[in-house]
Each structure stands twice: as C-alpha cells, then as structure tokens.
Amino acid sequence: MDTLSYKTQSAKKETVEHKWYIVDGENQIVGRLATQIAHILRGKHKPSYTPHVDCGDYIIVINADKVRFTGSKLDQKEYITFSGYPGGQKRRTAREQMEKKPISIIESAVRGMLPKNRLGRAMFKKLFVYTGEEHPHIAQKPEALEL
C-alpha cells in the first residue's frame, strides 16, 4: 500500500516574508482599489495564506487625493464621526472629506474590509497612504503594483 501523506504547511509569524508594494491611486475607484489593497494586506494572494497569522505585505498608496467615486457618491456618501458626547456626531460628504482629509477616505474603506480584532489592527498598520507622489519608504525598495 503506497499512500502518500502530504502535510499542509501552516505559515508562522517567524517564517513569513513581507514584501513592499507601491500603488498609484490616480483615477482609481475607491472601493475597487480598497478591496485589492485589503486582499494583499491580509495575505490572501499568497499560497501560504493562514487565517490566524499576519502574512500580508506592506502597501504604500500615493496620489490618494486623486481617487474617484462612481455615480453620485461624491455628494451622497457620508463619513460619520462620533466623539461620544451628546451632540458630538459630525457628518461630512465625500466631497468635503476629499478637501479636508483625503487620506482618511482610503484608510476607512480598507479598515472596514479587514478583520475587527487584534490581527486586523496589525494588518492595518502595514498600510501607508500619501496625497502626493512623494513617500519616505524608498529604502524598502517597494515594487510597483498595477491594480
């Protein structure tokens, strides 16, 4: 009886290699860009993906102020913050958010697609978003990623 038994290799925190990727957000649709970023941050693009290990890669997003929305989301989509105090709820449309804090648009979209636990918070820390072309991560030698 010649039975082959192959064991599935489970990724461990010590054995995972993290790569650095750079994504240009110019003329990209926010939701579609965010899903692909979240996919890479979780590590689901790797064959060694393990749900309980942070095996994702680092992502740098440049030109975050040049992303776009489809349809009439620019005027209808709202970003809500709440301070915890009575009357402390603030609402901004996507257009207002683009003018005041364009980085938070991509960050909130990606954060909503990651797990809501310690592992998700660790994955989110590997996302770096910048409004212009410049970023301080040149020493990591990020690879350009077409999405």
Domain total of the chain: 1
CATH number at residue 71: 3.90.1180.10
Q: Which amino acid is at 132?
A: G
Max distance between CA atoms of the chain, in angstroms, equals 73
Segment 39-57 shows an average pLDDT of 95
Short-list 100, 111, 107, 109, CA closest to 130: 107
Q: Which amino acid is at 107?
A: E
Residue 41 forms part of a structural domain: yes
How many CB atoms lie under 10 A from the CB of residue 119?
16
Residue 3 forms part of a structural domain: no
Short-list 106, 30, 22, 104, CA closest to 60: 22
Residue 1 forms part of a structural domain: no
Question: Which value, in Å, is the radius of gyration of the alpha carbons in the chain?
Answer: 18
Residue 113 forms part of a structural domain: yes
Which tens digit of pLDDT belongs to each residue from 88-98? 999 999 999 99
Which tens digit of pLDDT belongs to each residue from 23-39? 999 999 999 999 999 99
20-24/58-62 β-pairing: parallel
Residue 76 forms part of a structural domain: yes
Query: Do the beta carbons of residue 79 and residue 73 sit within 8 Å?
Result: no
Beta strands of 30-84 (E only): which ranges? 58-62, 78-82
Residue numbers of the domain that contains 57: 20-144
Model pTM above 0.85: yes
Query: Do the beta carbons of residue 44 and residue 123 sit within 8 Å?
Result: no
Query: Do the beta carbons of residue 79 and residue 91 sit within 8 Å?
Result: yes
Residue 99 forms part of a structural domain: yes
Which pLDDT score is estimated for 4? Answer: 66
